[in-house]
Amino acid sequence: MIVAVEARGLGKQYRRTWALRDCTLAIPEGHVVGLVGPNGAGKTTLLRLATGQLTPTRGTIRVLGEPPAASPAQLARVGYVAQDTPVYARMRVADHLRLGSWLNHGWDNELAQRRIRQLGLDPRQRAGSLSGGQRAQLALTLALAKQPELLLLDEPVASLDPLARREFLRSLMEAVAEHGTSVVLSSHLVTDLERVCDYLIVLVASQLRVAGEVSSLLASHRRLSGPRRDPSTLPAGQDVIEQSHTDKQSTLLVRTGEPVRDPAWTVTPVSLEELVIAYMNPANDIPARRPRLGVAS
């Protein structure tokens, strides 16, 4: 497995507060990764660490096997669109493309020009007068035309209206499918990413909650409902992510490697949104991945 982003014990502290804490993860290449978490969860910090905009306070991060921003060659392999898609307000659209061609050896000018044409952007227009959606598209064009192996996008659709959002993701997916680029895109709403991502990372309160392929996450989580029951009496291998109880009934969201055979339960699959919301809820105490042995109750 080739690792796109590998973090070990990664932490970033700003003065007294930790923006990201003890984050260990390995994102394999070839995925479209959704990085989801509430505002302030550390998504931007993780992406800025991955682009070398920040240096870690603790731990290490390697991107495509190299420390971020270590060399022009490493920089060339990673494309990045920052939050709020900054562009040079006083420069024209065409200047941005020239800038890209000057600063990137792998620059695909034909691709850049074609995208600008397709988007209907006027090359002579100043970037400062573009709409939010156009600006995001310009920033994405810059990132795509350098032909990166990995594309990191920080809340690229947050400021876009639903139509522009759909259009942005569609053009992103087209470009990605064409070049086989790995993508990490963050959002505080999983609904933004549901249609496009096949790998999911949930960050809450500066800590990693869950990471994995969407298909295996969906396969390994079930909603159980049935007569009221103490969750601690569940068999080993069924970890409770979320629970709610009434006087008579219990509803649980469990993570399990095997099918649930207990006939007392009504077992239903969970949607990605339900799953993410369960992991995002700070009240839910997420158990460790492996069932702890010797916990008898």
Partner 1 sequence: MIRLTWLQFRAQAVTGAAALAAFAFLLAATGPHIASMYAASGLSSCQGSSCENLARTFLQQLKADGGYSWLYLVSVASILLAPAIIGLFWGAPLIAHELETGTSALAWTQSVTRTRWLAVKLAVVGLAAMAVTEGLSLMQAWWAAPIGRAVGHGASSGGSIFSMNQFSTLVFATHGITPLGYAAFAFTLGVTAGALIRRTVPAMAVTLAIFAVVQIAIPLWIRPHLLPPSHTVIPVTSLESTSGSTQSTGSSGNSFVLLTQNLPGQPGAWLLSSGTVNAAGQAVSTAPAICFTPSVENSSSGFVGCLADHGIRETISYQPASRYWPLQWTETAIYLALTLALTWYCFRRLNRRRS
- Catalog residues that contact partner 1 under the rule CB under 8 A: 48, 51-55, 69, 71-73, 75-76, 78-80, 82-84, 86-89, 91, 95, 98-100, 102-106, 139, 142, 146
Decide whether 85 or 238 has the Cβ nearer to partner 1.
85
Decide whether 97 or 280 has the Cβ nearer to partner 1.
97
In the complex, the smallest distance separating the C-beta of residue 76 from partner 1, rounded to whole angstroms, is 4
Decide whether 103 or 236 has the Cβ nearer to partner 1.
103
What distance in Å separates the CA atoms of residue 52 and residue 70, rounded to the nearest whole number?
8
Decide whether 101 or 220 has the Cβ nearer to partner 1.
101
In the complex, the smallest distance separating the C-beta of residue 203 from partner 1, rounded to whole angstroms, is 20
Decide whether 44 or 206 has the Cβ nearer to partner 1.
44
In the complex, the smallest distance separating the C-beta of residue 108 from partner 1, rounded to whole angstroms, is 13
In the complex, the smallest distance separating the C-beta of residue 164 from partner 1, rounded to whole angstroms, is 20
In the complex, the smallest distance separating the C-beta of residue 80 from partner 1, rounded to whole angstroms, is 4
